[in-house]
Amino acid sequence: MSRTLKMAVKVAVVLVASVVFWMDTARQANQAVFFHHRRGDDLVIFGIQRDELLKFPGRGASRIRHALAEQGALWVKQYGVRKTEGGGVKVGPEKQIELTRGDAASVRFGASFVIP
């Protein structure tokens, strides 16, 4: 294989990898970011779209706490695990819930799902 052809193949591979990386990054740009908090004895897992979360200052759960302090309330999606008809499990949003200033102290970054 000539040197020019080898160089062209390398450039093509880098170009394809760059396009795949860019497409994957663009696809993930607005994924849900998960948090949890305690409401009484219940552990509530909720998510907020990444783009919405990045509007607030801070890092991690402090962004949610800041939004609650600033706005007083924040609507988010509560997530849960349910069984599918095929016997598998699916993690997905269950309903919209409102977080209030009273929830701010218990908000933590991340979530663990228990598979039934």
Give the model's pLDDT for residue 39: 83
CA distance 23 to 64: 28
Residue 102 predicted with pLDDT over 60? yes
Instruction: Please name the residues in contact with 104: beta carbons below 8 A apart, sequence gap of 6 or more.
Output: 64, 65, 68, 69
pTM of the model: 0.68
What is the mean predicted confidence (pLDDT) over 97-111?
92
pLDDT in tens, 82-92: 888 888 888 88
pLDDT in tens, 15-29: 433 434 444 444 555
- What is the band of 5 on the pLDDT scale with cuts at 50, 70, 90? low
